[in-house]
Amino acid sequence: MKRVRDEDDDDDSEGSAEEAALAENTKKKGKARRDEAGLERAAASLDTGLPWLETLVLESRFTTNVQDDLEREVAIYNATLGLVKEGKHKLSELGEPVERPPDFFCEMLKSDAHMARVKDELIFQQKKMEAFEQRKARQHQLKFAKAVQASKKAEKVAKKKEALRQVSEFRKQQSKKKTNQSLKDRKWGFGGQKKGRKKNDAKSINDLSSFDPRKGKKKHPSKQR
């Protein structure tokens, strides 16, 4: 971080120097001149005699109308593209790599500690989202399990209720059958000769215990509605 701050201070100092020089030039009177010879001498003075691989300097010469914005921009684009192809060809001839490896980390203005904090924060957020999704999935599964359990419980209660109803009806039918059978047994007895047992006798004719005078009596027509 200190190194980055020092670089920023250097950039500020250079910017201040350039602004001061520009302000000084604007104070000078007279028209601006284009000293081509001076520019060529300055360019020649930059030649250090180092191999091209140490400088990677490429030059493009083209003539265009600088007043035409479109023509100027197209010329700059074509010149840049041509120099890139030329530089790639020269590097390939020298056996130098021209493509960045996949594990290459370029230097950044942010420090490694800052990027490590950013990475940790991203990992934390990712784990937080994963935990949230897992918790949401567990809640959904729990809710589904409760619904299934409630459905099975209701089904079990309904089956039990139906079974009790059937048992109750069966007992009623059995009780009714036993009552009818007991009456028959009491009247006709058990075993022995059956001939003539079902015929009425003096006792059965005189037995009026089961007689109800209300049964079989016709109602008045006005009461039949």
Whether the per-residue pLDDT at 98 is higher than 80: the answer is yes
Confidence at residue 3, expressed as pLDDT on a 0 to 100 scale: 43
Q: What angle do CA 60, 64, 68 make, to 5 degrees?
A: 135
Q: What is the pLDDT of the chain when averaged over all its residues?
A: 77
Under the banding of pLDDT at 50, 70 and 90, the label for residue 2 is very low
- What number is the average pLDDT over the span 68-82? 89
Asked whether 198 and 207 are in contact (CB, 8 A), the reply is no
Confidence at residue 78, expressed as pLDDT on a 0 to 100 scale: 92
Please tell me whether the overall predicted TM-score, pTM, comes out greater than 0.75 for this model: no
Under the banding of pLDDT at 50, 70 and 90, the label for residue 79 is very high
Q: How do residues 27-73 score in pLDDT, each as one tens digit? A: 555 555 778 888 888 877 877 778 888 888 888 887 888 888 888 88
Confidence at residue 207, expressed as pLDDT on a 0 to 100 scale: 72
Q: How do residues 117-176 score in pLDDT, each as one tens digit? A: 888 999 999 999 999 999 999 999 999 999 999 999 999 999 999 999 988 888 888 777
Compute and round to an integer the Cα radius of gyration of the chain: 56
Confidence at residue 34, expressed as pLDDT on a 0 to 100 scale: 79
Tokens encoding 111:
């420090």
Whether the per-residue pLDDT at 12 is higher than 60: the answer is no
Confidence at residue 23, expressed as pLDDT on a 0 to 100 scale: 63
Percent with pLDDT over 70 in the chain: 65
Confidence at residue 134, expressed as pLDDT on a 0 to 100 scale: 93
DSSP, residue by residue, the chain: -HHHHHHHHHHHHHHHHHHHHHHHHHHS-S-----HHHHHHHHHHT-----HHHH----------TT-HHHHHHHHHHHHHHHHHHHHHHHHHTT---S--TT-----SS-HHHHHHHHHHHHHHHHHHHHHHHHHHHHHHHHHHHHHHHHHHHHHHHHHHHHHHHHHHHHHHHHHHHHHHHHHHHHH-SSS--TTTTS--HHHHH--TT--TTTTPPPPGGG--
Q: Where are the domains of the chain?
A: 42-101, 109-177
* Cβ neighbours of residue 65 closer than 8 Å, sequence gap 6 or more: 71, 72
Least Cα distance to 197 among 185, 186, 188, 184 occurs for 188
Confidence at residue 82, expressed as pLDDT on a 0 to 100 scale: 93
167 — phi, psi (to 5°)? -65, -40
15/9 Cα distance (integer angstroms): 10
